[in-house]
Chains A and B, each alone.
Chain A
Amino acid sequence: MAKTVLPFGPQHPVLPEPLHLTLTIEDEIVKEAIPKLGYVHRGLEKLAEIRDHNQMIYIVERVCGICSCLHALCYCQGIESLMGLEVPSRAKYLRTIWSEMHRIHSHLLWLGLFADAFGFESLFMQFWRIRERVMDLQEETAGNRVILSVNQVGGVRRDISAESAQWILDTLKTVEKETLQLKSTILDDYTVKLRTVGKGVLTKEKAYELGAAGPTLRASGIAQDMRQTGYAAYSELDFAPVVETDGDCYARTTVRFNEIFQAIDLIRQAFSKLPEGELAVKPKGLPTGEVVSRVEQPRGECLYYIRGAGKKFLERVRIRTPTFANIPPLLDMLPGCDLADVPVLILTIDPCISCTER
């Protein structure tokens, strides 16, 4: 049969965000995929010229609604190293706790959306029901549900009291129990396996070559996690990257599913070691010089390049988000797959297009 060119997106029932792919298909088999980005470019990096470096924290948080806290954390770490600030260790632990809460809610959100992508709507509801508990934890401890605004240059803005800590640990126990109950449904179900096992394989070599990030990378058997670099309090906590070796959709789902439990464990460790002390140090001076700051977001490695010239306004802020890194691997996965599997494949890289286009 002759080749057909099919525009996929930017509006598509399965995509929460506007990604456009021009698919060339032959007999319902994808031959080639060409992406087109730029539908939700907001110019947030440019705002650094008219908002000072403290106001920028709240702007970079809005790059992504799902990993807001980690964007602010990455940015603050960069500014702190430019100013030579040493963050108090209680603040480091609290940053870790909020980061991991973000990871849990992001992965639960993704598992829900993924279930929805192959038409399993009741599973979608189940995951989001559990996620709501984590959102409550965030609202109580940070003040807002989604955009936490807890980081500031030099530390954190809020403390977590002992009662809140107990409540968080209790709620996490419920979250853990309820998520485990869904394990057999998402990982052992016959239909789910049919849609995921062996689909969209990304080999270890390709993943490395194309610079995949986060769960997409780890599902291909590369144990690389930015948290191993030991920012915030991660150097004092005990964890190993969650790795799978198959590199297919199923492996990527398993990695994300297991990372929820890893995150819960990290929060427990962090609370058991939480030191007393200051929440923030007072920043002195203005950011001078250039720095690259990296954190591990739920979707993978996020990178900030910041250059300051000793002024209130920064000269340049450049944000490289994990989805941007995961688009080349996606283009590698698509050729050869069924047209019907395209939505599922796209979702397994956990695309966040608003992030990518900033």
Chain B
Amino acid sequence: MFMTKTILKNLLTKYATRLYPFQKRETFAHSRGELKIDMEKCILCGVCQMRCPSQCIKVDKQAKTWEVDPFSCVYCGVCVEACPVKCLYQEKLYRAAVAEKDMVMHVQQPKETAEPAAT
């Protein structure tokens, strides 16, 4: 009989779990999630590539590309802190599951307003 109280309480309180696909948890303001880049700002210096503990970033200065292997990224945020121009940022949510593995490649477009050639 000592369980009656507990049973009644459990019947009257809310669920401890969420009905997931319909009801999603709010993300926290300071969570570290998927890594994104603002390619226009990147100066292709390669600091992020050097610092990344899982070595999943590849920066190619010649081809003007910045590439990350999202499956190796461990969301540590080291590259975000190291970037001198702060063009990297992390979403609040981790990357959604995908069916196929692929790299995320960004190519820097040549600037529209071409810098005046040094004379």
Is A58 in contact with chain B by the CB < 8 A criterion? yes
B29-37, B57-65, B99-107, B111-119 - the one binding chain A: B29-37
Q: Are A147 and B81 in contact (CB under 8 A)?
A: no
Is B43 in contact with chain A by the CB < 8 A criterion? no
Min Cβ gap B68→A in Å is 16
List which B6-51 residues lie within 8 A (CB) of chain A.
16, 28-32, 51
**Tally of contact residues, A, Cβ under 8 A:** 20
Is B84 in contact with chain A by the CB < 8 A criterion? no
- Which A residues touch B31, using CB under 8 A? 139-140, 143-144
Q: Are B30 and A158 in contact (CB under 8 A)?
A: yes
Contact with B along A35-62 (1 / 0, CB 8 A): 0000000000000000100111111001
- One of B30, B51, B53, B54 near A143 (C-beta < 8 A): B30
- Which B residues touch A56, using CB under 8 A? 53
User: When A and B form their complex, what is the total count of cross-chain residue pairs whose Cβ atoms lie within 8 Å?
Assistant: 41
Q: Is the interface of B mostly helix, strand, loop or mixed?
A: loop
- One of B29, B30, B76 near A149 (C-beta < 8 A): B76
Is A157 in contact with chain B by the CB < 8 A criterion? yes
Known: A129-B16, A149-B76. A139 touches B51 (CB 8 A): no
Q: With the chains together, A7 CA to B29 CA distance in Å?
A: 48
Q: Are A147 and B30 in contact (CB under 8 A)?
A: no
List which A141-167 residues lie within 8 A (CB) of chain B.
141-144, 147, 149, 157-158
Min Cβ gap A65→B in Å is 12
Min Cβ gap B30→A in Å is 6
Is B85 in contact with chain A by the CB < 8 A criterion? no
Q: With the chains together, A58 CA to B77 CA distance in Å?
A: 10
Is B74 in contact with chain A by the CB < 8 A criterion? yes
Is A315 in contact with chain B by the CB < 8 A criterion? no
Q: Are A149 and B77 in contact (CB under 8 A)?
A: yes
Is B75 in contact with chain A by the CB < 8 A criterion? yes
Q: With the chains together, A136 CA to B25 CA distance in Å?
A: 11
- One of A58, A136, A141 near B76 (C-beta < 8 A): A58
Q: With the chains together, A144 CA to B29 CA distance in Å?
A: 11
Q: With the chains together, A353 CA to B75 CA distance in Å?
A: 24
Q: With the chains together, A157 CA to B82 CA distance in Å?
A: 12
Q: Can you list 21 A-B pairs, Cβ within 8 angstroms, ordered by A?
A: A51-B53, A55-B51, A55-B52, A55-B53, A58-B53, A58-B54, A58-B78, A129-B16, A136-B28, A139-B31, A140-B28, A140-B30, A140-B31, A141-B30, A143-B31, A143-B32, A144-B31, A144-B75, A149-B77, A157-B77, A157-B81
13 extra A-B contacts, CB within 8 A, seeds A51-B53, A157-B81: A54-B51, A58-B76, A58-B78, A136-B28, A139-B31, A143-B30, A143-B32, A143-B75, A144-B31, A144-B32, A147-B76, A149-B77, A158-B30
Interface residues of B (CB under 8 A from A): 16, 28-32, 51-54, 74-78, 81
Interface residues of A (CB under 8 A from B): 51, 54-59, 62, 129, 136, 139-144, 147, 149, 157-158
